Structure 1
Amino acid sequence: MYIRRVSRKNKNGTTTAYLQLAHNEWDPKAKYAKAKVIYSFGREDEVDRAVLERLVQSISRYLSPEAALEAQHAIGETAEFLFQSSKRLGGAWMLHQLWHKIGLDAILETLFADRKHQTSIERLIFSMVANRALNPSSKLAMEDWVREEVFLPDLAEVRSQQLYRAMDELLDVQSQLEHQVYCAVSDLLNLEVDLLYFDTTSSYFEVDPFDVPEGESFRKTGFSKDKRPDLVQVVIGLAVTREGIPIRSWVWPGNTSDLSVVDQVKKDLIGWKLGRVISVTDRGFVSEENLRTLQKTGGHYIAGEKLRSGKEATEAAMSRKGRYHHVRENLQVKDIVVGDGEARKRYVLVYNPKEAERDRARREQTIDQLQAHLAELKQLNGQAHTKAACQLRSHPTYGKYLRQLKDGTLKLNKQAIRDAEKYDGKYLIRTSDDTISAEDVALGYKQLVDVEDAFRTLKTTLELRPMFHRLEDRIRSHILLSWLALLLVRIAEVKTGETWNVLRKDLDRIHLGHFSSKNGDVHQRTEMTAKQRKIFAMLEIEPPPRFLEIQPKA
């Protein structure tokens, strides 16, 4: 390890020299050793070379096997280098590199170019996004997290009030940010946006419903998908590509119906000029009015249909005879058209043999249990018999397989069992697009699970809920930050094929150590494993350098 001097000729004819910390590495292809730069100190005329040489000698001795062994037995001030602290590095470094690769730093710096702050708004926003992905906490807790626990490039500390101001300013540029992020991500990942999957969820607040600010029309009680109807909530929507990348988020008052948001979502996405967009929605969105909305301005839809909806067209589609076509393992499809002219409707009936076996096994287990309950029922009489019979009739699973005779006796409903067999392993999809293949219809609807996975990541890994913000703007900004965190997380998952929990666990083992000596301070990362290096390689980003900072003392 040595100090290397390099020079560069300027346009005015002068020469500027720079000092670097380097060491020689053998190049097996070239068959000779090449200099590898470890750290750049800057211009020669701005640093004290003698101080640098003393520090480099200390580092070299400390890094040699003999000196390292000797250092293990050194105590207190007798050690040449003292280990001052350690911070988690890997996860934050990876998020920072992805953030830069997408261009989020440049986008935010441009949007906030006319706003002067002591600390960069872009860095404050990144810190909140990184915290949401790595260690979700309150803004007050983030002060210690940034200062003591994690290394964030170009950000040594934050104050909670700075973070709240950054949240307020982020909301001012939301529209431009969302569009520019979409364009940047589309270019980087070459996203296919002919199929967009949309769904909604709800998220609640741990506050007294009577403590909601007077006049607020945002946090409301409503149908809770979190099964907390007792708490006020908001409704959140996500549009996700077939690769599972969330390209946009929405938030509405907590009492908003799913069926009332489609028109806004459609208008917002058309404004982005995405070209041919097919909206894929679940069965909760299916109504004739809603489907017509999805078809406005030339759009199309793929929507799930309830098998037991009782609709005449649905029954006709289910009873239509014909052979299934094998498209993939455990995936067979049947293309069906019901009606003529403007009244015609296209359906795709999907059959999964493996899922059919599971449905059949679950039903047989249910029938066995039900027969056992009926046998027990015969041993009872009086009020105990009446109560047990009522419980069986009203049971959500057992009840549909029972019939009651005129004398009140409960029997198995064999016709209901035969009817249930017709639906094993099947689901029905409706589409307005006649040009897309039945296979793409089936696979497109199947990918709707990516939206559900995204919501699950938001609520669990990124800990979106519960939320404690009181102001509507802060709520909207909180969800916007969570969407940015989800965007980075999903890109990392898609690129590596690993879950975020696995990635975060592996990368958080990379630490940054702070070592001090009489000659200066050194900030050095821990050695990386082969798996950690592979993660960075798959993401096509640079891993953290061995030395992040070297500070000589005069």
Structure 2
Amino acid sequence: MYIESVPNRNSPAAVLLRESYREDGKVRKRTLANLSCLPDEVIEGLKVLLRGGVAVPSVQEVFSVERTLPHGHVAAVLGAARGSGALSWFGSAPQELQPVLLAMLVARVISPASKLATHRLLHDDTASSSLGRVLRVGQCSADDLYRALDWLHEAQPAIERRLARAHLAGSTLVLYDLTSTWLTGHCCDLAARGHSRDGKRDDPQIVFGLLCSCEGCPIAVEVFKGNTADPATVAAQVTKLKERFGIEHLAWVGDRGMLTSARIEQVLKPAGMDWVSSLRAPQIAQLAQEHGPFQASLFDERNLLELTSQHFPGERLVVCRNPLLAEERARKRLELLAATEADLNKIVAATQRSHNPLRGEDAIGLRVGRVIGRFHMAKHFELLITPAAFTYRRKLDAIAAEAALDGLYVIRTSVSKAKLDADAAVAAYKSLAHVERAFRCMKTIDLHVRPVFHYSEQRVRAHVFLCMLAYYVEWQMRERLKPMLFDDEHLEEASAARASPVTKALRSEHAKTKDAGKTANDGSPLHSFRTLLQDLSTLAYNVTHTHLNPEAKIITTTRPTPLQAKAFALLGLNPACTQ
């Protein structure tokens, strides 16, 4: 049987229920009923039944959608957090706080904000994502978040031990660097005025040091008062590595402002630790005097040479020369000299003008001091100030001596050549860029550690630690999602192809192809990590019910787009399975 619509001239078409049969070898049909009087939806239902289906009312009549929430980014970050070990991190927390801690961690990645804003994000009535419903913390209070933060502060040593065992076991190097971030208000005991790396000289700040594996994976973080100098933090980190993590020997990689000679002698050597750092400019000049001037011809075959010095016993020194850096420093010096002279000439003219000339050593000195301090060129000028005149000239010998060291930097290390050759030592020092990337992600691009909305010391420390754990999850996700991001998937191959580690790091040919086309291998558009999360968030979480049982909630998720499906496949996740 089937239903057929038969045209009827100027009248509506007749809808007939018919049956086909075979007679005398021919297919014939007969009308069983006239269905023209039935509503269209009934006729459509009969058609479904005749095809062997099950007729139901329209979807709008069966299901009512109560709420639709962004979900894909939650599923991705939550799955990655669980895969990174977050459940074990929070396993010793009170049962009711474990999902809250996990929610705070995921929220820091998908929507970094204050704890009160995170509470609104999670709460059932004000939620802007599915996170609260998925983790069943939609009814938690703001106090629960602060209780969870207090627990996290107490659990930090144990969690960091887990990360150290996972990423530093069998390793040779550990990266360490320090950064600062400003605070608002004056109630936090950690807040103090110090050297601001963000140019916020008028605000109090905190500083925090980050320990990373040689690949850039974060291991531990510690917060210090805002006026703490970089070298003063090293001893605490060495103690942490030995006593808390049980690691007796590693090579510390830090910049020259961190691993100073005094810190090496007073902290690293007594602790039995090795180091990879670099020399300051006066030390490089001293080395040049000891070994003779470093002529450019010495670096023709390779951009580095290895030597020793009596001033650095037991250490290997790797002198590197970057021609591009040399050109840039020479250009910058000439520009600063010219700019300084232009302003100094104005002062000379002011002392020689006929009307109201500039007079007095103090008055002239103040003007000169402002100019010299502005461009930091005092070392290159000889100044002569009298009560009625001012003259200056360049120190040509000093300028030539500085120019001879353009493009040079010296890596110092105590690690033996068998464990770390010259090329590897330079590459190890340059790997501090991984820590700088972590700071950028934590402070500005993704996780927004600032502004800090807490005042108590322990909550400020816990907030920074939460941001570090969030970066750990992001770092793991980035490693898996590289085919969809602008990140270089073949960075090691590109590094191996470089003639020397001294030269500028190059992207692989594959990465250059991605950059040029802005597309992945399959033609899908490339993303930054943040825009990829935004794309994933369009996969929706629907809360529905039927009219037969309005109290029974049915959860459905929308079908992933091809790009979303690719992201979840790379992460090894199913967006529908987030419980």
Q: Same fold by TM (over 0.5)?
A: yes
SS for the counterpart of 2:176 is strand
Moved more, 133-142 or 352-361: 352-361
User: 1:163: Cα distance to partner?
Assistant: 0.8
- Please tell me whether residue 528 in structure 1 is matched to residue 528 in structure 2: no
Unaligned residue ranges in structure 1 (runs of 5+): 1-57, 62-69, 550-554
1:458 maps to amino acid: M
Which position in structure 1 is the counterpart of 2:114?
A: 138
State the Cα deviation string for residues 86-116 of structure 1 (Å, max 9, x = none): 322222222211121122213422x23xx3x
In the TM superposition, 1:384-395 aligns within 5 A as 391-395=370-374
Tell me how far apart the structure 2 counterparts of residues 502 and 384 of structure 1 sit (CA, whole Å): 59
Q: Distance in 2 between matches of 1:250 and 1:543?
A: 36
CA distance in 2, matches of 1:516, 1:418: 81
C-alpha distance after superposition, 1:277-335 (max 9, x if no partner): 110111112433311322334320011211235774475368356833867xxxx2221
Amino acid at match of 2:466: L
Cα–Cα, structure 1 residues 312 and 426, in superposed 2: closer, same or farther, change >3 Å?
Answer: closer
For 1:242, the equivalent position in structure 2 comes to: 214
Counterpart code for 1:335: E
Question: Match of 1:339?
Answer: 310
- Mapped partners of 1:548, 1:105: distance in 2: 14
Q: Kindly state the Cα deviation for residue 529 of structure 1 after the two structures are TM-superposed.
A: 4.0
Instruction: Tell me, yes or no, if the aligned pair for 1:192 and 1:241 is still in contact at 8 Å.
Output: no
Contact 2:248/2:272, CA 8 A, preserved across alignment = no
- 1:472, distance to aligned residue in structure 2 (A): 1.9
| TM-score normalised by length of structure 1 | 0.71
Matched position secondary structure for 2:332: helix
Give the letter aligned to residue 240 of structure 1. C
Q: CA shift at 1:234, angstroms?
A: 3.0
Alignment match, 1:488 = 473
Aligned equivalent of 1:323: 298
- Tell me how far apart the structure 1 counterparts of residues 369 and 261 of structure 2 sit (CA, whole Å): 38
Structure 2 unaligned residues grouped into runs of 5+: 1-44, 49-56, 486-527
What is the distance in 1 between the residues matched to 2:409 and 2:557?
52
Partner residue in 2 for 1:171: 153
Query: Residues 450-469 of structure 1: matches in 2 within 5 Å?
Result: 450-460=434-444, 461-469=446-454
Structure 2 counterpart of 1:14: none
The aligned amino acid for 1:510 is L
C-alpha contact (below 8 Å) 1:307/1:314 kept by paired residues: no
Instruction: Determine the C-alpha separation between the residues in 2 that align with 1:167 and 1:364.
Output: 53
Structure 2 counterpart SS, 1:283: coil
Q: Give the 3 Å change call, closer, same or farther, for CA 156–285 of structure 1 in structure 2.
A: closer
**Is 1:243–1:494's contact at 8 Å kept on the other side of the alignment?**
no
Q: Which amino acid aligns with 1:421?
A: A
Change (3 A) 1:356 1:517: farther
Alpha-carbon distance change, 494 to 424 in structure 1, aligned in 2, over 3 angstroms: farther
Question: What per-residue deviation string (whole Å, max 9, x for no partner) do you get for residues 476-517 of structure 1?
Answer: 221221111111122223443445334433333433344555
Distance 1:394 1:102, change over 3 A: closer
Partner of 1:542: 573
Deviation at 1:175, TM superposition (A): 1.8
Deviates more, 1:263-272 or 1:446-455: 263-272
Alignment partners' CA distance in 2, 1:318 and 1:285:
28
CA distance in structure 2 between the aligned counterparts of 1:139 and 1:529, rounded to whole angstroms = 32
1:104 and 1:181 in contact (8 A); partners too: no
* 3-state SS in 2 of match to 1:171: helix
Secondary structure, counterpart of 2:69 in structure 1:
strand
After superposition, where does 1:294-443 map in structure 2 within 5 Å?
294-309=268-283, 312-313=286-287, 315-316=289-290, 319=293, 323-324=298-299, 332-339=303-310, 343-367=313-337, 369=339, 381-382=352-353, 383=357, 391-404=370-383, 408-435=390-417, 436-443=420-427
Residue 251 of structure 1 is matched in structure 2 by 223
Distance 1:544 1:276, change over 3 A: same
Cα 1:156–1:277 shift into 2, 3 Å: same
Asked if the contact 1:191–1:241 (Cα under 8 Å) also holds between the matched residues in 2, the reply is no
Q: 1:351 to 1:179 in 2, by over 3 A?
A: same
Pairing 1:277–2:253 present = no
Structure-2 residue corresponding to 1:512: 541
| Contact map agreement 1:523 1:548 (CA 8 A) in 2 | no
Give the Cα separation in 1 of the matches to 2:212 and 2:300: 28
Offset of residue 432 of structure 1: 1.3
Rg larger for: 2
Spell out, residue by residue over 1:387-407, the C-alpha distance to the aligned partner (whole angstroms, 9 max, x if none): 875544343255554444687
Q: Which amino acid is the alignment partner of residue 483 of structure 1?
A: M
Task: Name the CA shift for 1:408/1:379 in 2 (closer, same or farther; >3 Å).
Answer: closer
Structure 1 pair 274–314 and aligned structure 2 pair: CA distance change class (3 A): farther
Separation (CA, whole Å) in 1 of partners of 2:192 and 2:66? 50
Shift of 1:412: 4.4
404-413 or 145-154, larger mean C-alpha shift: 404-413
Match of 1:155 in 2: 136
Q: Does 1:500 align with 2:529?
A: yes
CA distance in 1, matches of 2:566, 2:236: 42
Distance in 2 separating the partners of 1:390 and 1:175: 50
Q: Structure 1, residues 28-73: CA drift from partner, whole Å, max 9, x if none?
A: xxxxxxxxxxxxxxxxxxxxxxxxxxxxxx9xx9xxxxxxxx99xx
Distance 1:314 1:195 in 2: 29
> Contact between 1:333 and 1:442, CA under 8 Å: does it hold in 2?
no
Deviation at 1:464, TM superposition (A): 1.4
Assess if the C-alpha contact under 8 Å between 1:512 and 1:526 holds in 2: yes
Q: Is the 8 A contact 1:305 1:428 kept in 2?
A: yes
TM-aligned CA distance change 1:421 to 1:533, over 3 Å: farther
> In structure 2, what residue type is equivalent to 1:278?
A
Q: Which has the higher strand share?
A: 1
